[in-house]
Amino acid sequence: MPASSNRSTTTDAPERPLGTGRVRRLHLPQKLRNLELFLLLLACGINAATVVLVQLGALGRIDTTLVLLGAGLSVLVLALHVVLRVVAREADPFILPIATLLNGLGIAMIYRIDLANEEYGWASASVRQTAWSALAIGCAIAVILIIRNHRVLFRYTYVAGFVGVALLLLPLVPGLGREVSGARVWIGVGSFATFQPGEIAKIALAVFFAGYLVRNRDSLSMVGKKILWMRFPRLRDLGPILVVWALSMSVIIFQRDLGTALLYFGLFLVMLYLATGRLSWVLLGMSLFLGGALIASQTLDYVNGRFQNWLDALNPDVYGADGGSYQLVQGLFGLAKGGLIGTGLGQGRPEITPVPQSDYIIASLGEELGLAGIFAILALYLLLVARGFRIGFAGNDDFGKLLGVGLSFVIALQCFIVIGGVTRVIPLTGLTTPFLAAGGSSLIANWIIVAVLLRLSDTVRNQPRLVV
């Protein structure tokens, strides 16, 4: 353990009121980080086992070349762990192992689909996914090293808001934006390196919302007319919610991306509710979104088609139509084939569904791991999000609280939108499953979220005892 030698010298930096607190602090970090190391090794072991099982199931033998996939990820997360030992010794010990396991399961499943499609080397999505994971964990390490205290982000509230909106609108710039399967949410230079800036925008917007609401929540929550038992806000305080509403609606219209719009608007509503504690804002916002979505479903045939596929998926006309429910229904068939314990890794046929490695990775995993596996994955997400909420709950300053809960809610909402879409709970919209799905931008964004949550949890534990 590299950091254990200098631990005692770096602990007693500022003056703390409690002698007992300082003594406890000396013993805690090793415990937390050692717990993390144990869980991390377990997660890496499971990841390696997944790749091995995929090879046994699909090829019938163990191929050593791609065990490297698992090893690469393991080395990187262990590097992140070492960084945490040095600069964030009291960070939450569960977030990193959970993210590692999800990322590894995703890589193994993508590799499995590459095997079915007989893609190898750089053409295969799994190798690219590993490379993106390396980049993403590198970004996470950088974030942890650069942001030593999350309150720094509070200073850049409006910069973050501007960056978020700019990133969101970037795909609309002619020459830079790329349109992939109907949605114009990508940017690319030349024929390679496509990137989805909206994924990064969600972090910037979460920072902006948290900062904005901490500054303005009094005027948002205290004044306004009272109708029935609820206090409704004044028109001038209504401004921000209307701006965000208009923004997310324009995302639907110009980029044809219902999922992203839903994600941003949901994020804003939750943070607004968190900051003000007023149900009226949530009702107002939900009715605005539902109204907007309803109008969009009537007027835009892109949205209308999605609703059709959702409500009438098993109708042969809808199933066979161009852009119909073929993909959705294939995913459902896959899930049904999986049953309770799945067909076994490498033994199903998830490659029949279009894009089984990105949007439909949950259907692929469900087919091969079954209901038991899907529930395990959902439990991992649940634990991850619960840790984020816990960090927000334990925090003393309101900005950290809002940021922690906002960022973990983004992960939760994104899971709900994608997995709900695949399992036909809500209309399908194209978003990536966090950590699992093939896609670099999503990986980078989610690992940055992990880094921010780790940083938050460290500062929360290091906080002074009393803040007035």
Q: Which residues bind another protein (CB under 8 A)?
A: 13-20, 28, 31-32, 35, 39, 42-43, 46, 49-50, 53, 56-57, 60-61, 92-94, 97-98, 101, 149, 151, 341-342, 344-345, 347, 369-370, 372-373, 376, 379-380, 383, 390, 393-394, 457, 461, 463-468
CA-CA distance, 198 to 214, in Å (whole number)?
A: 24
Q: Output 263 or 419, the one with its CB closest to another protein.
A: 419
| Dmax (CA) of the chain | 73
Q: Is 253 exposed, middle or buried (0-12, 13-18, 19+ CB in 10 A)?
A: middle
Which residue blocks in 122-257 are alpha helix, DSSP H? 125-146, 151-155, 157-169, 197-222, 235-250
DSSP 8-state assignment for residue 12: T
Q: Output 239 or 464, the one with its CB closest to another protein.
A: 464
Which is it for the CA torsion 232, 235, 241, 242, positive or negative?
Answer: positive
CA-CA distance, 96 to 37, in Å (whole number)?
A: 9
Q: How far is the CB of 402 from another protein (least distance, A)?
A: 16
Q: Output 50 or 196, the one with its CB closest to another protein.
A: 50
The crossing angle, in degrees rounded to 10, of helices 279-299 and 258-276 is 170
Residues 6+ apart with CB under 8 A from 427: 258, 306, 307, 309, 310, 421
Q: How far is the CB of 435 from another protein (least distance, A)?
A: 15
Residues 6+ apart with CB under 8 A from 249: 261, 292, 296
Q: How far is the CB of 133 from another protein (least distance, A)?
A: 19
Q: How far is the CB of 35 from another protein (least distance, A)?
A: 6
Q: 437: closest CA among 365, 346, 347?
A: 365
Q: Output 17 or 182, the one with its CB closest to another protein.
A: 17
Question: What is the Cα gyration radius of the chain?
Answer: 23
Q: How far is the CB of 466 from another protein (least distance, A)?
A: 5
Q: Output 13 or 228, the one with its CB closest to another protein.
A: 13
Looking at the DSSP bridge assignments, the partners of residue 231 are 226
Q: How far is the CB of 61 from another protein (least distance, A)?
A: 6
CA-CA distance, 267 to 388, in Å (whole number)?
A: 14
Q: Output 8 or 20, the one with its CB closest to another protein.
A: 20
Q: How far is the CB of 231 from another protein (least distance, A)?
A: 22
Q: How far is the CB of 95 from another protein (least distance, A)?
A: 10
